[in-house]
Each structure stands twice: as structure tokens, then as C-alpha cells.
Amino acid sequence: MKMTLKLIPVSILFLCSSLMASSSQVDVVYGEDNRKDVFESTNPSFIELSKSTAAMIKGSNLKLLTNNEIEITASTLQQRGICSKERFSQQISAANCSGFLVAEDKLVTAGHCIRSEADCMNFKWVFDYRVDFSEQSTVNVPKTSVFSCKKIISRSLDNVTKDDYAFIELDRKVLDRQPLKVRKGGKVEKGAPLVVIGHPTGLPTKIADGANVRSLQGKFFVANLDTYGGNSGSAVFNVETEEVEGILVRGETDYVLNSTLGCQVSNVCPADGCRGEDVTYIRNVSGL
């Protein structure tokens, strides 16, 4: 999700529902597209960190099967207007936002993802939403990987300062993966190497490294992360410390219309171009 910088003539509802369409969006490729499926990553640390990231998915998109697995149902990117030549076009797009585990039963996401107790009740938090091969179009997860939001602990969505976070309690403890380490003091440095893990355009988990901090602002920092709608709430890590530096919340326009093909293609910016992606400092989260 991100502040809209230009209108896209083809409906952007595929980016994750009316919740996303009515708020900030985060999405664009800077330089080379560094997004990888978890199975493609050769970095064991990134793979381990990805286990503690979750997708915010409507309960209506989750179907309980007889073997106690949950089938995640959604249209593919191509079915939602993305050109077939685009990466991951055959994968499903089910997530509205991303989040990450910071305690056994507590999770952080973006403030514009969880706006009310109704949002807390209507969406599930799903771990292990990932694929095992690039063209995989269906995803099942164990029932034990699906959690509900019990309550909102703290939240900020400030149009003036641009602060944007939500801190929530889950309905039970997550016992099969570790909470992520977060920066407790100081501030990330300009130029620091970054990796983001989440659900761009609602896709199964993607790991995107090769980014750096561009500038430091009052309540957030700016980076050249390859992020899309659905990445809102993603954990942004310092590659060197493996600590969460912040929460992905805003950015450049993601898809643009290819009038020749009649479908949407990724917006590509130079590595040092466009506006950059905004990341709320993790230290802003009240009560964490």
C-alpha cells in the first residue's frame, strides 16, 4: 500500500481489496528485480527470518480441508490484469498486507492495514504462505499456521508525521518459530544494506535484498526496496545485524498499463531514482 502518485487506468483492486485501494500502497522495482521465492534463496538466514513473517488474508479466502490443512484461495496475478510475461503471474494473490512476529503471541504490521477492531476480526494471519516452485498456483498450509487477531495493542496512522504502525495480539502463542529481533536503540545508518520479506501484490512470501537506506526522516527512513501492494507491514531487516529496522508502509507506483498488451507491467525505476520506499522505524511502535 502507498500514497497514490498516479492513477492506473486498469482497476487496481487486484492489489489486495478495497482496504488496500483506499490507503497507502507500496510498490515498485528499483534497478534489478531482487524478489525471490523462499525456495530460490541461497541465504539460510533469510530463509529462517521468512518463517516469522505472516500474510494478512480474509477469512473468506481460507478453506478448511478434511486433512486439517487450509487451502488459500485467490485469483492469480494474470487473472487480475497483470501481463503474463510478468514474474510470478501464475501465482495466487491472496494477502492484503504483511506482518511479522515480535513475541510469542504478538505481531507488528502497518497502521493502515489494521484500522479498526473490525479489521482485527475479519482477517487472519497466515504463516507459511509460500510456494515450492515458481509456477505453483495453489497453496495449502497447516491449520496450525493460521491465527486470528485478538486485539490491537497500539496503533498509529498520522498524516502529519507519517507514522504508520499497528501492534496486535494474536489469539494464541506461536510456538513453532522464533520472534524476530528488533532494533532497541540508536538508528539505522544511511547506506545500510537491507532485505525485505513479505507479500508483494498479495503473492506468496518473497525475499528481496540488494537495497540500501537512502535517507533518514523524522518518523521513517527511505530506501530503494523492491516492494509492491501487499508488502505493507513487511519487516525490513538490516542485512548485517539481521534485526528489524522498520515496517514497510509507502512507496512509488507499482504497475503501469502497457497499452500494446492491454495489461499491467511493473514500474521500473533506476536504483537511485523515483521517490523511494518509506519504512516506519520499528522503535516507534508503542509497547514493543
Report the DSSP beta bridge partners of residue 49: none
**pLDDT given for residue 148 in this prediction:** 98
Give the H/E segment covering residue 215: strand 206-216
Per-residue model confidence (pLDDT) at position 18 = 34
Convert 36-65 to b/e letters by CB count within 10 Å (16 or more is b): bbbeebeeeebbebbbbbbbbbbeebbeee
CA geometry: angle 207, 212, 215, nearest 5 deg: 135
Give the span between the Cα atoms of 12 and 3, in whole angstroms.
14
Q: Could you give all domains of the chain from N- to C-terminal order, each with its CATH number?
A: 13-284 (2.40.10.120)
What does the pLDDT read at residue 11? Answer: 34
Dihedral in degrees, nearest 10, Cα atoms 181, 187, 192, 194? 40
Look at the chain and count its residues: 288
* pLDDT at residue 211, rounded to an integer: 96
The per-residue pLDDT for 21 is 33
- 3-class secondary structure, 32: coil
Which cell goes with 278? 518509506
Q: How many CA atoms lie within 13 A of 265 on its CB side?
A: 9
pLDDT single digits (tens) 5-43? 232 333 333 333 333 333 344 457 777 889 999 999 999
In whole angstroms, give the CA distance from residue 149 to residue 108: 11
pLDDT, mean of each 10-residue run, the chain (288 residues): 33 34 52 91 98 97 96 95 93 97 98 95 97 91 98 97 97 97 94 98 96 96 93 97 97 85 87 88 96
Instruction: Say what the pLDDT of residue 245 is.
Output: 98
- pLDDT value at position 4? 30
CA pair distance 76, 10, nearest whole angstrom: 16
Q: Give the residue among 77, 155, 82 at the shortest CA–CA distance from 114.
A: 155
